Structure 1
Amino acid sequence: MGDKSRQLPTLAPGPRAGATSAVPTSRPKKNSTACLACKQAKRKCSGRPSPCRACEAAESECIFDETLDLRRKVAVKRTADELEYYKDLLNSVLETLRSPDQTKVDRLLAIIRSDSSLSDIAAAVSTNPPDFHDRAATDTEAVGAGALDDPAALRTDPLQRPVEASARRGFMTLDKLCDIPLFNVPAKPWTNVTDDEEFVSHLVSLYFTWNHPFEQFIDQQLFLQDMASGRPDSQFCSPFLVNSLLAVASTYSDFPEAFANPGDVSTRGQHFHAEADRLWKAGEGKVTLPIIQGLLLMVLTENFRGKESVAWQRFRQAIELAHNLGLFSHTPGSTAFDQEDISAEMERARSGCASGIAILNSQMAMASLTVTELNIPLCRPYGKDEPDDGIMWTPYPRSNQIDYAKKPALLKYIRVAMLDLTEILVETQALLFDKAFRMGFEDLWQSVNVLYARLQLWQEALPDVLDIGQLPIPQVLLLRMFYHWIVVMLFGIFGERQDFSMMPFSQAERARGNRINSAKEIARCSRIHRQSYGLNHAPSHMVHPISTGLFVLLNELNDSESQEAFIELSRHLSALSRRMVHCKGIIRNLESAAQQSSINLPPDAVAVFRSHDPEAVHDVHS
């Protein structure tokens, strides 16, 4: 039975009745929810508030999302509601296919065959799952007390059905519950359009995912740092800049709050744009870096709306202010910079903005068939040998995926490569839109091939990180698309000059072959993007390469490979037309060119165009 000589320790007497302890006793709290980073690393998390101790030590992003904890009732309920929703969607699709209305059936089949998203299919069948929204709206455990009292906090339904229905009913949705913005920033004091911080964070996350990596007018780290501080007098953020950014970002959002007029998709971001315009007029005369950056973003918005002349007007204002601020007249280390005592951070932001202006100028000039009048700045935000900035890129929205893809954003590499490509683009414009008119065929042919050789050397010199491997990030695909866009435009001069109609057959075939091959490569990059990230979100910068590729392939539709490439580009242009008004005009111009040349567009391409805008394309087979 054991050692009887062993004595038990003496117990201390308990507290007397009515006595109180000097040190309060409490059970240690058990954290029932770990942040996403700790879940991924399978480590113990200290719990809320964010950041947890582990994330703070690692200086990493710390996000808590209780809806991902499958032990909680809200997660189980959310899964059940989602399954019910998809069940109702399937029933609605089957009901539509059984419909005696053949037009309705054909339209649905065209949408499905065009590789459209579930949101487009749901919109086509007018899906309205019974009870789902009512259940979601009353789920106070999921949305928190009082969340439904604020209409600005609402989102579209899980499959983004017609916005007017969502805005009218005003319910909390699965999209709202699952959305986890990449960046958390305040709405105030930056904008008067909304005080919904989640929505503003959603838009900022969209902007830095799909628009920023290729243009980089703004220094991402400095901007986010100043916006999070909430100080309107900060160096790298201002209300004008924020509203301009939110207007651009709204182009990529389907949330009801992104529309100035509920249900009118053409009004995406117009309320933010109007607020930015008001702030611009109120502060006219001031010259700061955020004002220049805000004007550049307004240029993008005007282009999205098809207002090219207004976009150029805004751009000239931005260039004038940039000259006034000395972005182009001085380089770091000069007397002017030393006198101003510019910090290293400001120097980086200024040179990045100057580079972005030069890149945008060359793109707008190429699209307008004019000569660039702005030189490439000598100062660059990154040196070729400098280490990358460590910024990561991930597809967004990321819904409720924990193991989402996360890759280096490669901002430094993209910027350096794009500046090198822009130098060739500027010389290409000078040749095509100025010097070519004073040159004979042989001299022009030689000049074109010299530039083509430089383009090939540029492509061969790209670092390995910019190679199109498995699941390349969009900005890497865009680099290749822009390269091939320039090739198409470069050799296009020989098809436009009437005096070259009798050019030697071998050279004519070489010029034509280079254009067709580059158009097919643009389609290949477009296909990789669609297969990797879908059609719902695509950078706006794809418009010019895609539209140019379509017009090249229009005359080559007898070839099956060219026809397949044409259909691929049609998918992307059609998807982009749902977000940017000027893309609808490109579709109409494409149709008009086909009619004038008596070309029958592939039925699949016509179906794709009609699936997003039935009035955009008439019957081209008649």
Structure 2
Amino acid sequence: MSVPHPLVAKPSAAAAGAGAIKPTVRSLVPTAEHQRVQRLKHDSGIYKRSSRVCVKKACDICKQSKAKCSGETPTCSRCQKLKHQCTYNAVDQRDHRKDMKGQLQRQKEENTQYKEILNHIKTASLPDLRKTMTVLRNPTGTSIEELLMFIRNDGKSILSKQDIRPTPATTDLTLLGNSQVETTDQTVPEQISLGIIDDRPLSDLNLTAEPWTTITDDDELVSHLISSYIAWDTVAWNWFDVDIFLEGMVQKDFTYCTPLLVNCILALACHLSPRIPVRSDPHNPNSLGHRFIEEAIHLWHVECNQPKLTTIISGMLLCEVVSVNGKDHLGYMLFQSTVSLYHRLFEQRESSGKLRRDEKMERALGTTIWGLFRLSTFFTLLNKKKPPMDIPTIKLPENRYGDENADNGSRKQLNPILSLWRPYPYTQPAEPCRLEESVRMCSDICVILHDLIVSQTAGTEADLRALTVKQKKDLYVRAIEWKRDIPRGLNLGDTVAPFVITPHLGYFQLILELSNAPLDPADTEPEELATFREEVKGWYKQGKAGLLHLLGEYDKNYSFAFIPETMLLGLMYAAKIIIEELAPIAESTKRGGTSPDCDSPLDILTELTKDSEEPLATLGAIFEKTIGWLCSVSEQFFTAKLYARALQLSGESLNVVLSDATKKRLDSLFSVGDGSKSRWIEQLYKADSILTLSLGRGTDSVVDVIEKLDGLKV
């Protein structure tokens, strides 16, 4: 039996009998008259809809009763009417959702990490798995981040965790922080020898440890370390705009300052602090610098895939700090990751298509990207690698402190923290910090260095292309023009402050690398080629003389108790020059079949420092001076310790006589105790360096050279 549709009218009996009338459907559309009446009622306000009032937070009683709350404080209208005690203490549902969302995000990150570890277990070879399990079962404990870094670094540990001593190691520097300062006219080395020092933070630099680091809650210590970094390393490298960074740190602006960035700076500053308990020891996990590095690496794992300004700066600083600690292989990996972040950041900028950009961010980005380019130049120059980035297209910031000719209303006044450079001790007179000019000088010389590296690298990274005579001459002319255009007051005779060291160091490196670059013999006639080779020898002597003069002047004015990282680069080059010059002397001595005279092989007069006011007359004297400089910084920078040992062993092969003071310093660095392998040998085995040295015809890593010279490796 069929059921009629409820909207279909039932036909009457008569109609059903007749069968002539069809059923009608009731219309659902309102009639025109009905619409007119409804419109009149609406316009007259009869159907006026009341506005809904929403409250941000309901009280606990209304929330429990699921009643509407007026949200008034201290008592809502409903609780007041019912005479209930009105409270707002319960956790907001939105806060709970936010916490749950954060927990879910952390869970996703942990799952990604565990998947990476599981994939390593599935695909790794048995020897690699054994090494991974050894790290995982470390009695002192291994975090997920440390295990992942071990896996990503091809099974090489970042920082030793088994080499623990109860107290941080110290150098022979006997300075005490915040001791009574005497006003004297002595030089910095004289003040250091007397312990006259003032290591208080720079004026008006009152920074807080929270929320930037969990390693210390001492605000004064954080201010001191940031001040130390500004005084020595910022003015040398200038990786970032320090005024914008400090403003972000004070205002807690995470666009320009993050915990990762602050921990990287604090780790580097421990190499520069004059306070004995703070001084960095790369092999002691109990030292403050070591702990800052560990926290920085932990934070790097969280942010390493975020292409933003602070992550790029942090990558550069982390690359620097692990490299000076003898882990430059890891440093190069961090550097490559940082360059990748730079490329991704600028791809996003281009795809966004913004016509107007933030002026402050553009200044910060310009400073950092050009800093990354300079780091790329020096890194690829040391390792003979193809440059991973081209010359930046972004503008290098100018007028850091505004236009001198503009009126006071329009001139920008930035934080004057870098208007003067005050070296330790502060009793030393301050001098104008001409950082902007020196950064431009350094960037210009790095452009020439970049062109040299590009000319030499072709095809694979292992190949070095021979240069033509014209290529060498063109690059040399550009270098001479750069030197001629140095602004007045920024020559080495005027000052050797850190902001002047870096561009001059780049110039001397350019001359030395250009002199050593291989020549294409098919390019020129033999007679012309022989004449040009003699000319190139003159360039080489000029570069060596300038480099040694730079080191000597810095030692005379400031001593090597405090050095920017750029000075370490200069010391490495000086040691490399001397070691490579000693190799043919040792080789010819062996072929002669007689033991060398104690001093005579190195007592030949040299022209290496003919431009210096106090020339070092012999190669032996240069050897003694350079190894003394390296000893001064070896406890702070493990890379310097590597070169000091290589230089010492090269001298021993020629029976070079050293002073008693130098012998004592070397014995304290490399002494063997209890008839077993010394602590130094253990440190050497843990080094992870890709820096190279040339001994005779072959070129090996600096660690392999030391092992061969020390009889540790056949």
**TM-score tier (shorter):** 0.5 to 0.7
The answer (yes or no) to whether the contact 2:627–2:648 under 8 Å persists in 1 is no
1:572: how far off? 2.6
The answer to whether residue 317 in structure 2 is matched with residue 297 in structure 1 is yes
Change (3 A) 1:434 1:375: same
Identify which of 408, 414, 421 aligns with 1:394: 421
The alpha carbon displacement at 1:599 in A equals 3.6
Q: Aligned residue for 2:644?
A: 587
Task: Give the Cα–Cα distance (whole angstroms) in 2 for the partners of residues 408 and 184 of structure 1.
Answer: 22
Moved more, 544-553 or 261-270: 261-270
- d(CA) in 2 for partners of 1:489 and 1:465? 27
Identify if the C-alpha distance between structure 1 residues 535 and 260 changes in structure 2 by more than 3 Å, giving closer, same or farther.
Answer: closer
Q: CA deviation at 1:600?
A: 4.4
TM-score (norm 2): 0.55
2:327 to 282, 307, 321: 307
Matched, 1:473 2:497: yes
Matching residue within 554, 577, 580 for 1:552: 577
1:208 alignment partner, SS class: helix
Alpha-carbon distance between aligned partners in 2 of 1:457 and 1:262, rounded to the nearest angstrom:
41
Superposition pairs for residues 347-426 of structure 1, below 5 Å?
347-383=362-398, 391-398=418-425, 401=427, 404-426=428-450
Q: Quick check: 1:603 aligned with 2:658?
A: yes
**What is the CA-CA distance between 1:471 and the residue it aligns to?**
3.8
Q: 1:223 to 1:469 in 2, by over 3 A?
A: same
How far apart in 2 are the matches of 1:355 and 1:260?
A: 28
The answer as to 2:630 corresponding to 1:570 is no
Match of 1:120 among 169, 172, 188: 172
Quote how far apart the aligned CAs of 1:472 are.
3.5
Contact in 2 for aligned 1:553/1:562 (Cα 8 Å): no
Match of 1:286 in 2: 306
273-282 vs 343-352, greater mean Cα deviation: 273-282
User: For the structure 1 residues 255 and 335, does the alpha-carbon distance in structure 2 shift closer, same or farther, using more than 3 Å as the test?
Assistant: same
User: In the aligned structure 1, how far is the partner of 2:485 from the partner of 2:196?
Assistant: 46
The reply on whether 1:179 has 2:179 as its aligned counterpart is no
Query: What is the CA distance between 1:606 and its match in structure 2?
Result: 5.1
For residues 206-226 of structure 1, the C-alpha deviation after alignment (integer angstroms, 9 at most, x for no partner) is 111111123222211011112
Residue 308 of structure 1 deviates from its aligned partner by 1.7
Aligned position for 2:69:
none
In the aligned structure 2, how far is the partner of 1:490 from the partner of 1:444? 11
Letter in 1 for 2:477: A
Determine if contact 1:424/1:454 at 8 Å carries over to the other structure. yes
Given candidates 234, 237, 243, the residue that maps to 1:212 is 234
Q: Distance in 2 between matches of 1:266 and 1:515?
A: 44
- The equivalent residue for 1:542 is 567
In 2, Cα distance between the equivalents of 1:195 and 1:372?
Answer: 41
1:306 alignment partner, SS class? coil
For structure 1, list consecutive stretches of 5 or more residues without a partner in the other structure.
Answer: 1-117, 124-131, 140-157, 162-172
In 2, are the aligned partners of 1:570 and 1:608 still within 8 Å (CA)? no
Does the 8 Å CA contact 1:327/1:354 hold for their aligned counterparts?
A: no
Distance 1:306 1:327, change over 3 A: farther
Cα-to-partner distance string for 1:511-568 (whole Å, 9 max, x where unaligned)? 2332122112111111111111111001111223332233334538422535344444
Secondary structure at the counterpart of residue 201 of structure 1: helix
Distance in 1, matches of 2:286 and 2:669, equals 12
Which of 343, 348, 353 aligns to 1:336? It is 353
Assess if the C-alpha contact under 8 Å between 1:265 and 1:578 holds in 2: no
SS at match of 1:194: coil
Distance 1:202 1:552 in 2: 36
Q: How many residue pairs were aligned?
A: 448
Distance 1:236 1:311, change over 3 A: same
Report the 3-state secondary structure (helix = DSSP H, G, I; strand = E; otherwise coil) of the residue aligned with 1:465: coil
C-alpha RMSD of matched pairs (Å): 4.2
State the percentage of identical aligned residues.
20
Partner Cα separation in structure 2 for residue 298 and residue 582 of structure 1 = 15
Query: Is 1:464 matched with 2:491?
Result: no
Partners in 1 of 2:487 and 2:292 — Cα distance?
39
- Cα offset for 1:178? 6.3
Q: Which residue of 1 aligns with 2:691?
A: none
- 488 and 265 in structure 1: CA distance in 2 versus 1, 3 angstrom threshold: farther
Three-state SS of the structure 1 residue aligned to 2:292 is: helix
SS of the residue aligned with 1:547?
helix
Structure-2 separation of matches of 1:287 and 1:426: 24
Mapping of residues 475-514 of structure 1, within 5 Å: 475-494=499-518, 505-514=530-539
The answer for the alignment partner of 1:248 in structure 2 is 268
Rg (Cα) greater in structure = 2
Q: 1:577 and 1:519, CA in 2 relative to 1: closer, same or farther beyond 3 A?
A: same
Q: Does structure 1 retain, via aligned residues, the 8 Å contact 2:511–2:540?
A: yes
Q: Distance in 1 between matches of 2:330 and 2:282?
A: 25
SS in 1 for 2:468: helix
User: Counterpart in 1 of 2:225?
Assistant: 203
Alignment of 1:36-185 (within 5 A): 120=172, 179-182=200-203, 183-185=205-207
AA at the equivalent of 2:557: S
| Cα distance change, pair 186–223 in 1 and its aligned pair in 2 (3 A) | same
Bigger share in helix: 1
Q: Give the match's secondary structure for 1:541.
A: helix
Give, as a single letter, the amino acid of the residue that structure 1 aligns with 2:507.
Y
Distance 1:610 1:260 in 2: 20
Separation of aligned partners in 2, 1:286 and 1:262: 28
Query: Does the C-alpha gap of structure 1 residues 454 and 283 become closer, same or farther in structure 2, counting only changes over 3 Å?
Result: closer
CA displacement 1:10-55 (0-9 Å, x = unmatched): xxxxxxxxxxxxxxxxxxxxxxxxxxxxxxxxxxxxxxxxxxxxxx
CA contact (8 A) 2:199 2:424 kept: no
Using the TM superposition, name which of 313-322 and 567-576 deviates more: 567-576
Match of 1:151 in 2: none
Native 8 Å contact 1:259 1:270 kept in 2: no
Which string of whole-angstrom CA distances, capped at 9 and with x for unpartnered residues, describes residues 259-316 of structure 1?
A: 6889949956110111112222234543331122112111011101111221122112
Partner of 2:546: 521
Query: For residues 629 and 280 of structure 2, what CA distance do their matches in structure 1 show?
Result: 25
Compared CA separation, residues 174 and 562, structure 1 to 2 (3 A):
closer
